[in-house]
Amino acid sequence: MTAQILDGRAVSATILDRVQQEVAEFVAAHGRVPVLAAVLVGDDPASHTYVRMKANRSAKVGMRSRRIELGADTTTDALVSRIRELSEDPAVDGILLQHPVPEHIDERAAFEAIDAAKDVDGVTRTSFAMMAFDEGGFHSATPGGIMALLDAYEVPLAGKHAVVVGRSPILGKPVGMLLLARDATVTYCHSRTTGLADYVAEADVLVAAVGRPELIKGEWIKPGAVVVDAGYADNTGDVEYAAAARRASFITPVPGGVGPMTIATLLAQTIRAARDHEAGRPDGE
């Protein structure tokens, strides 16, 4: 058996085509272009690359990307102040803080400075709580993208055992909540889980989101399982790909699986934020 590829590039292209149409309709209705503000702290090359990719995708769908670059010596207070300014700026529809930030910055404090109505990357406590309670709000972009990818391939989730390897507040934890909301039975694991191989072997759906290249061996994969690899380091995921692909029914490639879906979800949520923004304006503004 060779696994079918969960093609994030193809599915994200379909989503972005829809977003482009929605943006055109928004501009025609409101006479302005949706604006996504991207805040970048420091000089990490990968972060600069990611922000540039997001800006390029924004332009392709007709949105405007406002790039705010701050030095590596920026303090938490200065970053929080800048994000609050963007939160209060009526011209900005969505805010993205590129992470990780330099180690001396309190990243959580910076995330919480984002107005929940503009949290299109789904990183605030408010967004997490609203998602977990199924009360709207914005999904964390990567988990939201994962769910959209599974839906595009009509992967059944109800009643399935989903194992999430990873516990970050913007990936592992929220994707588990989204799977739970779809009636999957969810087990959380992480890099320090004792007997990790045994848990992985029980997974009908595996989401690897721990950030440790090839931590999960292909021989651990249950035959017929669905494997979603959200890890990325030098074109290598968290799962031993070749061996896993011989056992899984579906698998995401790295790159080309989860990554494109993250950006597509971010932009889909930005146009949604822009529509909500306009709906909330007092008449005449």
The catalytic site residues sit at 54, 98, 121
Residue reference for tokens 């516990």: 167
Closest to 153 measured CA to CA, from 33, 241, 72, 261 = 261
Q: How many CB atoms lie within 10 A of CB 242?
A: 8
Please tell me whether residues 157 and 100 are part of one structural domain: no
Please tell me whether residues 108 and 160 are part of one structural domain: no
Whether 229 and 252 have beta carbons less than 8 Å apart is answered as: yes
> CB under 8 Å, gap of 24 or more: what pairs does 238-241 form?
238/165, 238/166, 238/208, 238/209, 238/210, 238/211, 238/212, 238/213, 238/214, 239/206, 239/208, 239/214, 239/215, 240/214, 240/216
218 DSSP 8-state letter: G
Does residue 230 form part of some domain?
yes
Q: For residue 224, which amino acid is it?
A: G
Query: Which domain covers residue 82, as residue numbers?
Result: 31-115
Please give the chain's pLDDT, 285 residues, in tens.
799 999 999 999 999 999 999 999 999 999 999 999 999 999 888 888 888 889 999 999 999 999 999 999 999 999 999 999 999 999 999 999 998 899 999 999 999 999 999 999 999 999 999 999 989 889 999 999 999 999 999 999 999 999 999 999 999 999 999 999 999 999 999 999 999 999 999 999 999 999 999 999 999 999 999 999 999 888 899 999 999 999 999 999 999 999 999 999 999 999 999 999 999 866 544
Please tell me whether residues 158 and 232 are part of one structural domain: yes
CA-CA-CA-CA dihedral for 227, 230, 231, 237, to nearest 10: 40
Does residue 231 form part of some domain?
yes
Distance CA 251, CA 248 (A): 7
Does residue 16 form part of some domain?
no
Which CATH number is 179's domain given? Answer: 3.40.50.720
What pTM does this model have? 0.95
Does residue 136 form part of some domain?
no
Please tell me whether residues 146 and 105 are part of one structural domain: no
Does residue 265 form part of some domain?
no
Which CATH number is 84's domain given? Answer: 3.40.50.10860
Whether 216 and 208 have beta carbons less than 8 Å apart is answered as: yes
Whether 224 and 249 have beta carbons less than 8 Å apart is answered as: yes
Q: How many domains does the chain have?
A: 2
Structure tokens at 181: 């909301």
Q: What are the beta bridge partners of residue 164?
A: 188, 207
Does residue 152 form part of some domain?
yes
